[in-house]
Amino acid sequence: MELSPLPLVLLLISNIHSGHTEEIPKPTQTVKPQSSVFTGDTITLNCEVDQSTEWEFLWTKDSDFELFEASGTKTISSVKVSDGGQYKCRARRRENIHVLTDYSEPLTVTVEERPKAKVIVQPHERVLVGETVTLRCDIQEGGDTSWQYSWYKDDSVIEYKLQEYTINSVTESNAGKYRCNRKEIGGSRYSHSSDEVTLRVLGLKPKPELKSNPEGAALTGNTVTLTCHMDQSTGWQFYWYQHTQKHQKNTTDKNSYTVNIDSVSDGGQYWCRAGRGNPVYYTHYSDALWVNVTDQPKTILTVKPENQLFSGETVTLRCDIQGGGDTEWTYSWTVENTNYRNKYIVSEYKKQEYKISSVEHTHSGKYTCRGKTRGGQNSEISDAVTLTVSNKAQAVLSVSPQKWLTEGDSVTLICEVYGSSTGWTFSWYRDDNEFNYKHLSDSSRGAGGNYTVSSAAVNHTGVYACRGERGEQVYYTEDSNTQPLWVTGVSPSVSLIISPNRTQHFTSDSLTLSCEDQSNSTGWTVRRYTDIENMEDCSLLSLSSSSSSSYWGSQTGSTCRISSVYTSHTGVYWCYSESGDNSNAVNITVHNGDVILESPVHPVTEGDSLTLRCLYRYKNPSVLTADFYKDGSLLQKQTTGEMIIPTVSKSHEGFYYCKHTERGESPKSWISVREVQISVLNMLSSLLAACPYLLLTVIMVFKCCRVRGKTSVSFPLCIFFPTNTNTQHYIVGRLGLVVWPPSLVELGTCMSGT
């Protein structure tokens, strides 16, 4: 659309005066009484132009336009918050409305809600006669304006114009209802009046009451909470005293104070009192309160059956308080799970015993407990007990000193539970005929896990096993490994002869085992027992092998030959007949190392000589210089390879081995010593038959006694045997020493008789 030229020409003409363009002034805007007012106030806006020309004026607020008015004054009565904003004004000439000024600079008017005063009383609206009280007329809005305040008591004006109204040493006449307001000094702004606050004045000085929790008694390691009870409420500070009223222990803003009871010295008398204001107004002291402190009792945590447990067992943990007296306790249990590293309280268990009926791996962890009195006092935390839960328990059976025995020997079967030691009782079983185990009724021998046979008999022969059990809800271990015992007579009819004649052999050696019977050399089979194959006869197929060619020996007649021995041949060997007779058992050890001990395969008789040799595998084999040990203790060092015991006694019985610093050490071999069994009657018979003179001497002794009127005689008889081969013998009786013949006096072994 094309602009018409006529208005443009008129506009140019109106702006030309005396041949040049007229400069249009910029108005100035002001506000009275001020730009910041409260709701309900009146403000006046003035818009002025510096010329004598008559103008019309226009105001805008936040870009909202209004109509032109003749006056340069705009009045807004009883302003509202919405009247606040940014105001601008401009003017135009009345005779030429096309002449307009620019807008004035913007003027911001702020309208706020009229504030309401609030009376704040310090220290409190309830005060005591003699206290100092301050009433403050509080209004948050203030700025830099100067104000004067008006105070009213029971609707009467108080001639006091400051913000804080202080009453020193109040009396009952000061009680009443107070309110305040304020007004701008030299201005029109004012606040709403405050709500009334009632000041109450009490006549009596209060005395607080001191109480403790727990009441009266406490344990070291715990806390006691003291409470200073007063009818007055806020504004007080509380002062705490111990032992004397001059010994102030602490000051708190609250009326409670927690005392850490670290030692018995923290007990004694306590007081409290309260104070407030400036200067401080104090209450009376409370009555003294006695807190009796005793040492925290020790807590003992015990476990049955023990802390090494097996899956499925029942365990009971018991929490005992030592020195707790007749106090009633509840209990708390804490578990630190070792698998998940988390710690938690077993809150559902408040009793003294914590029982887990069937433990699992998740029950493994560190357990602690403590007791708590009704007053909330705790005992010490017990030392931690670590429960370890393993898989099913396994019994392990061993034999001491050896598995092969002669009638009269002593042997002990030892049953242990792997990884555990306490609380077990044991049952014992024997298999007389393979795979047919029977429970042994004489279980009293098995107390403590040892089943001892003090004098072995042939009927003790068999394969033994054991089983452990413990707990009120009986828990059983797995059956143990088996252990064989062989018991042969003192003089068996058959002997097992070993060639080479020693208990230890090198791998790849050949070995011959022969059954020699004085009356009959046929009908005997060499039988063995090993931990790997159990019981087998020579030339029989190995039960654990699927190969039909797996024979451990070849028997011809009563002789079994092994062409090449292996470590699996280690075991016990003996001769066996179909009638059930057995020879003495022989222990054979096959060693894959370079050093073995040459020792006798059969027991050594007391008084005999014993020679031990240390053999080296190579040079067919050769005797090796070595050290000899018995039961782990060094007996002889750096020998020529032999150790000789000229006269063996029972004390020489034990485990022997030899050791070379470079070649290694041999396995251990048990050397058994057989005691000499001597019969007194047989000995006397032999002596009297060999020496008739001795018989004559005995007769003379009896006759001498009869002459003295004795019809019978009982006397100690000592017969001394010389240690050499001479034939002299001695009889000692009540008549003294009789020597026959009298040429030698040498004492030997003494035996008593009647």
pLDDT of residue 615: 94
Instruction: Please answer whether residues 370 and 329 qualify as being in contact, where contact means their C-beta atoms are separated by less than 8 angstroms.
Output: no
Superfamily name with CATH number, domain 298-390: Immunoglobulins (2.60.40.10)
Instruction: Please answer whether residues 406 and 442 qualify as being in contact, where contact means their C-beta atoms are separated by less than 8 angstroms.
Output: no
pLDDT of residue 402: 83
- Run of H or E including 12: helix 5-14
Residue 126, number of CB atoms within 10 A of its CB = 19
User: Per CATH, is 395-487 categorized as 2.60.40.10?
Assistant: yes
Q: Which long-range contacts (C-beta less than 8 Å, at least 24 apart) are formed by 66-69?
A: 68/92
pTM of the model: 0.51
Instruction: Please answer whether residues 223 and 260 qualify as being in contact, where contact means their C-beta atoms are separated by less than 8 angstroms.
Output: yes
CA angle 374, 380, 385 (to 5 degrees): 120
- Residues 6 or more apart whose Cβ sits within 8 Å of residue 334: 343, 344, 345, 346, 367, 368, 369, 381
pLDDT of residue 220: 92
pLDDT of residue 374: 85
Instruction: Answer yes or no: same fold for 209-294 and 496-525+538-674.
Output: yes
pLDDT of residue 338: 65
How does strand 729-733 pair with strand 718-720?
antiparallel
| CATH architecture label of 209-294 | Sandwich (2.60)
Q: Which CATH class is domain 5-112?
A: mainly beta
| Side-chain-side CA neighbours of residue 206 (13 Å) | 23
| Side-chain-side CA neighbours of residue 186 (13 Å) | 3
Q: Which of 380, 48, 431 is nearest to 222 (CA)?
A: 380
> Which residues of the chain fall below pLDDT 70?
1-22, 141-145, 232-233, 324-325, 338-345, 347-349, 432-436, 443-447, 518-522, 540-551, 677-754
The CATH T-level fold of domain 118-202 is Immunoglobulin-like (2.60.40)
Report the alpha-carbon distance of residue 409 to residue 403 in Å, rounded.
11
Q: Which of 642, 593, 650 is nearest to 616 (CA)?
A: 593
Q: What is the CATH number of domain 496-525+538-674?
A: 2.60.40.10
- In which region does residue 85 sit, left (phi positive, over 0), alpha (psi from -120 to 50) or beta (all else)? left
Residue 650, number of CB atoms within 10 A of its CB = 10
Instruction: Please answer whether residues 567 and 530 qualify as being in contact, where contact means their C-beta atoms are separated by less than 8 angstroms.
Output: no
Report the alpha-carbon distance of residue 684 to residue 667 in Å, rounded.
46
pLDDT of residue 51: 73
pLDDT of residue 1: 40
Q: Which of 590, 578, 575, 563 is nearest to 527 (CA)?
A: 575
pLDDT of residue 29: 93
Task: Determine what percent of the chain falls in helix, strand and coil, rounding each to the nearest 5.
Answer: 10, 45, 45
Q: Where are the domains of the chain?
A: 5-112, 118-202, 209-294, 298-390, 395-487, 496-525+538-674, 680-740
Report the alpha-carbon distance of residue 589 to residue 530 in Å, rounded.
10
